[in-house]
Amino acid sequence: MGASVSTSQETAHASAIRGLRIDPAYVLLAPATLFMLLLFVYPFAYGFLLSFEPHQGGWLANYRSFFSSDRLWPTILTTLKLALPATAINLGLALPLAYRLRVKSPYQKWLTAILVVPITLGTVLIADGMLTYLGPKGWLSQTLQALHLIDEPVHLTHNYIGVLISLVTSGFPFVFLLVLSYITGIDPVLARAAATLGANPWQQFRYVYLPLLSPGLAMAFCLAFVQAFSVYPSAVLLGAPAGPTRVISVAAYEAAFEQYDDSLASCVAMIMGIVQLAVVGGALGLRGLFYRGPVAGGKG
């Protein structure tokens, strides 16, 4: 009896949903939607609006002061000067390594594992290790001096180079794994076909692999760039946050937690987002110029 009641209730419920023309499967989207709304859309919208409510002046006052202050607008260039080379170096290192490791071999597994290890280390741990190892009194400097290869200690920390090394160390595994997965997705029989047609190994890479990889490389560039552009801990710990590595996130931090100007901090964050979006948009725009179809050479 009880069972039949609950069944009829369920039927009524289902028909009510059908009456509203809502596919019950959409309910499954609710948690993700809620998550996005609460943790991304709302804070973003809040910050966006907040950036137009300065403590003083008109609604654009924050943006006006950002672009007129010599302490603020150059942070865009400082950050780009770090993020773009770091991304380029990571891609430049990852591509040949991943290409070399695309075929299965006994050492492929081990080398891949070693290359990916830095992904497990936090930025702070990397920074600490680098300070010990690469600092003026670190092992590297002392060894080089002991070997009389250099006369003065090398300065690889608390400057631009230190932050760049840290960005490469922490960013490389991501880029490498991404590029490796794109490369192994390309049917190796295409390169063999190119070889039988007279393409030497370089031409096989240049005319077969590279064009098919380009969309993937653009994607990897975007992800690596966004990660590098929002650099904060290594810029502070390994750089010179007062000068050469005063990146945009440092400016945002100062506005928020030193001047307690939430509105200005939001404005800096918005500008940071716009610059990231512009670079990513540019990269994806270039991606549109390349072939983006399937990367297999016919039926499987």
Partner 1 sequence: MSGRATPNDFDELRLVSVNRTFGGSTGPRFAALKDLSLVVRRGEFIALLGPSGCGKSTALNCIAGLLQLSGGGIWLDEKRIDVLPPEKRGFGMVFQNYALFPHMTVRKNVGFGLRMRGVPAAQIQSRVDHALSLVQLAGQADKLPGQLSGGQQQRVAIARAIVIEPPLVLMDEPLSNLDAKLRIETRAEIRRIHRELGRATIYVTHDQDEALSLADRIVVLREGVVQQVAPPHEVYAQPANLHVARFMGYRNVIDFDPAPTARTGQVTLHRDGMSLTGTLRQVTDGGRLCAAIRPDDITIGAEQTVNTVPGWVANVEYCGRDSLIDVSVPGGVTLHVRASSTVALGDKLHLSVLPERVLVYAADT
Q: Which stretch binds partner 1 (CB under 8 A): 31-39, 196-204, 258-266, 280-288?
A: 196-204
Among 50, 98, 156, 212, binds partner 1 (CB under 8 A): 212
**Residue 296 within binding range of partner 1, rule CB under 8 A:** yes
Q: Which stretch binds partner 1 (CB under 8 A): 25-33, 44-52, 177-185, 193-201?
A: 193-201
Two tokens, residue 23: 């596919």
Q: How far apart are CA 281 and CA 295, in angstroms?
A: 24
Q: How far apart are CA 236 and CA 158, in angstroms?
A: 8
Give me the least distance between CB of 162 and partner 1, in Å please: 41
Q: How far apart are CA 199 and CA 161, in angstroms?
A: 40
Are 116 and 176 in contact by the 8 Å Cβ rule? The answer is yes
Q: How far apart are CA 84 and CA 76, in angstroms?
A: 12
**Residue 205 within binding range of partner 1, rule CB under 8 A:** no
Cα dihedral sign, 66-67-68-73: positive
**Residue 289 within binding range of partner 1, rule CB under 8 A:** no
**Residue 104 within binding range of partner 1, rule CB under 8 A:** no
Among 21, 137, 148, 299, binds partner 1 (CB under 8 A): 299
Among 99, 177, 192, 230, binds partner 1 (CB under 8 A): 192
Q: Residue for token digits 């990367």? A: 295
The footprint of partner 1 (CB under 8 A) covers 106, 187, 189-190, 192-200, 203, 207-208, 211-212, 290-291, 293-300
